[in-house]
């Protein structure tokens, strides 16, 4: 009897936790893990896209693992949509950083990337399930993320 009660209590508590998490993201944002995400369909260069995210209390999205990469791709309207994410190597060529200050560890580069073919290519776009370096002057849509609001 006690086990049944504990199990029901845990299930009920977990259900409420999920509802509470959803309330922490602003309207129009999607929660994934402990972060809130939003696709911005407003083509801009990388710097403008980052500023657009910052105006919403966020940064261009950081991609920390394969699961998060798949989730971000699910936010794009089509497989051919290109979107800025927050990585750049503008400080030192080849030293990739996330604009929110988190460690750059996960990579899912397209074959041959980064290659600086559009000299310079200091920014990262996500598309076709891979990452491609691009010149920051090209216009792309954006994926923003922020920590959930407690």
pLDDT tens digit sequence for 18-38 = 445 446 899 999 999 999 999
Provide, rounded to the nearest whole percent, the portion of the chain with pLDDT above 70: 74
pLDDT above 60 for 88: yes
Looking at residue 130, what is its pLDDT?
Answer: 60
Distance, in Å, from the CA atom of 113 to the CA atom of 100, rounded to the nearest integer, reads 22
Residue 75, CB-side half-sphere exposure with 13 Å CA sphere = 27
Q: Which run of H or of E encompasses 71?
A: helix 66-75
Looking at residue 48, what is its pLDDT?
Answer: 96
Looking at residue 101, what is its pLDDT?
Answer: 86
**Closest of 131, 146, 130 to residue 32, by C-alpha:** 146
Looking at residue 135, what is its pLDDT?
Answer: 56
Looking at residue 8, what is its pLDDT?
Answer: 43
Between 8 and 27, the more confident residue is 27
Distance, in Å, from the CA atom of 27 to the CA atom of 7, rounded to the nearest integer, reads 33
140-147 and 130-134 strand pairing: unpaired
pLDDT band at 56 (very low <50, low <70, confident <90, very high): very high
CB 40 within 8 A of CB 142: yes
Between 130 and 2, the more confident residue is 130
Q: What domains appear along the chain, each with residue ranges and CATH number?
A: 2-147 (3.10.100.10)
CB 138 within 8 A of CB 116: no
**Single pTM value for the model:** 0.78
Q: What 3-state DSSP class applies to 68?
A: helix
**Closest of 46, 63, 47 to residue 109, by C-alpha:** 63
**Closest of 137, 139, 126, 115 to residue 68, by C-alpha:** 126
- Residue-averaged pLDDT of the chain: 81
CB 86 within 8 A of CB 64: no
């Amino acid at each position: 009897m006690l086990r049944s009660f504990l199990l029901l209590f845990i299930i009920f508590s977990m259900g409420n936790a999920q509802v509470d998490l959803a309330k922490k993201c602003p309207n129009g944002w999607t929660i994934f893990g402990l972060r809130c995400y939003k696709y911005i369909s407003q083509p801009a260069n990388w710097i403008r896209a980052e500023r657009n995210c910052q105006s919403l209390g966020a940064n261009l999205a950081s991609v920390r693992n394969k699961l998060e990469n798949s989730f971000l791709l699910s936010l794009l309207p089509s497989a051919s949509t290109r979107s800025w994410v927050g990585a750049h190597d503008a400080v030192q060529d080849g030293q990739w950083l996330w604009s929110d200050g988190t460690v750059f560890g996960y990579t899912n580069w397209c074959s041959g990337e980064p290659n600086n073919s559009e000299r310079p290519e200091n920014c990262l776009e996500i598309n076709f399930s891979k990452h491609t370096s691009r010149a920051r002057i090209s216009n792309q849509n954006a994926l923003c993320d922020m920590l959930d609001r407690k």
